[in-house]
Amino acid sequence: MRFTRSLRFRVAASFAALGGGLSLVIAIGLFIGAQDAGERLIDETLNAEMQDYQARRARNPHSLPPATVTLLGYVVPAAANEPPLPDALTSYFPGRQHIHLDATPYRLFVADRNGARYYLLYNEALFQERQHRLSLFLAGFVAFMVLAAAGLALWLAERVIEPVKELARRVRGIGPDSPPIDLAGDFPADELGELARAFEQSLHRLAGFIARERAFTADVSHELRTPLAIIRGAAEVLLADETRPEKERQRLERIERAAADMADLSTALLAMARERDEGQRAPVDLAALVRETLDKHRYLLREKTVELVLDIRAQPTLAADSNLIAIILSNLIRNSFTYTERGSVQLILEKDRLTLRDTGLGIPRDALGKVFQRLYKGQHSQGAGIGLSLVKKICDRYGWEISLDSEEGQGTKAVLRFGEKDRLSTIS
C-alpha cells in the first residue's frame, strides 16, 4: 500500500513536524546567538582590561595585574612583586583562545607591548553554566512546542478533514437501491468538490449498470424458465406413454433430468446474482432435502456395485434458500456417485454438519487446493468446472464452511459445516 496512515494522522503529523522543526531552528539560533554574544562580551572585557593594565603599567612599572575570581593577569618579564607566569601558559602566543587551567575553563588573551608580554585569563565557568541552563531551557521549549503543535495539529486536522469525512459518510450510506443524490452541490468548487463530482458521476454510472443488470436478470429468468418448462413438460408427456421402448424411455428420463438440473442451476445463479436474499430464506428441512436429492441422483448408481448408506443422526432446520442448498447437495452427491465405481457412499447428517464419504477415484493432493476455483477441471472431471466453485460461493454467502479431504485411489471425504445462526431447530 502506498498510504498506510489515515489522512487525519498525516495532516496532524505534518503540522507537528513543522512546529517542532521551526521551534528547533529557533532554539538553535537563540543558543548560537547567546553564545556568540557572550564570547563577544568576554572579548570586549579582556580588551578593556588589557588596555587599562597596559596604561597603568606605563604610568607605574610596579602596578600589579588584575587578580580577581573572574580575571587573572600576568606579565613577562615580571617584577619582583608580581606573580610568576604559570608554566602551562608559556607555550601560548599572542591572540585569543579557550584553555583549561587546573580544570577551570578560561578565555586567554595574550598581547605584546614595549618588550613585555601580557596574559589575561577570563574565568568562563559561570558563562558555561549559564549556557548549560539556557540549553536545558531551549530543549524544554522545543519539547513544549512539539507537544503544543501536535495538540493543535490534531484539532486543526479534525477541522480540515471534516468535509472529507462528511463526503465519505454520504458515499458510505449509498446503497444499490438508494436514489441518485446531489453530492457536488454541497461542497465548494475546489479539490474536494472535484472529488464529490467524480463520486457522483461514478454513482450514476453504477446505478445505470445495476438497472441494466436487473433488467437482464429478469429477462434471462423468464427466457430460461419458459423453454425449460416446455422441455420438462414434453418429456413428462412422452414418459407417460407406457408403450415406449426402454432405451427411449431412458433417453427421455435423461432429457427430463438435464432440464430439471438446468432449471435448478439457473435458479441458483439468479439467486446468487442478488445482493441480498432475506426474502428467499425459509425454513428448510435438511434431512428431507438430502433424501430427495439422493433419490434424484440414484440413477447414477444403477449399474454399479456401490452401497449407499444414509445415517440421519439429527434433523436440523436451516434458514436459507432451498434452491441454493439443493445445488450444494446435488453437486456433492453427484460427484460421489459419478466417480465411485465400487465400494460405498456414506452420508452422515448431524446437527451442525453434513459429512459425505466415498470410496471413489479420489483427488490428487496437489489438486485439492484448486477444486473450488472456477472452471478448474481435474484429471477425471466430466463437468464444466463450475460445480464446486458454485458450492464454495454459496457457502461463503451463508458463512458456512466446506472442506474436502481426499487421497487418490482411496476416496474423498466432504464436510459441510453450517452456522449456528442459520439453524432454526434440530431434532435428534
Q: Which domains does the chain have, with CATH numbers?
A: 7-146 (3.30.450), 279-427 (3.30.565.10)
Find where cell 484429471 sits.
Answer: 379
In degrees and rounded to multiples of 5, residue 92 shows phi and psi of: -90, 145
- List average pLDDT for each run of 10 residues in the chain, which is 428 residues long: 64 80 90 91 92 88 87 87 86 91 90 90 91 91 86 79 76 69 70 77 76 70 72 80 80 79 70 59 88 88 89 90 87 89 92 91 82 70 67 87 87 86 58
Find where cell 449509498 sits.
Answer: 174
Q: Are 55 and 181 in contact (CB under 8 A)?
A: no
Residue 1 confidence (pLDDT): 45
User: Distance (Å, rounded) from C-alpha 58 to C-alpha 48?
Assistant: 15
User: Distance (Å, rounded) from C-alpha 170 to C-alpha 1?
Assistant: 25
The partner residues of 98 in beta bridges, in order of sequence, read: 107
Q: Which grid cell is 175?
A: 446503497
Residue 391 confidence (pLDDT): 87
pTM: 0.50
Q: Which grid cell is 403?
A: 472442506
In degrees and rounded to multiples of 5, residue 406 shows phi and psi of: -150, 155
In degrees and rounded to multiples of 5, residue 80 shows phi and psi of: -65, -35
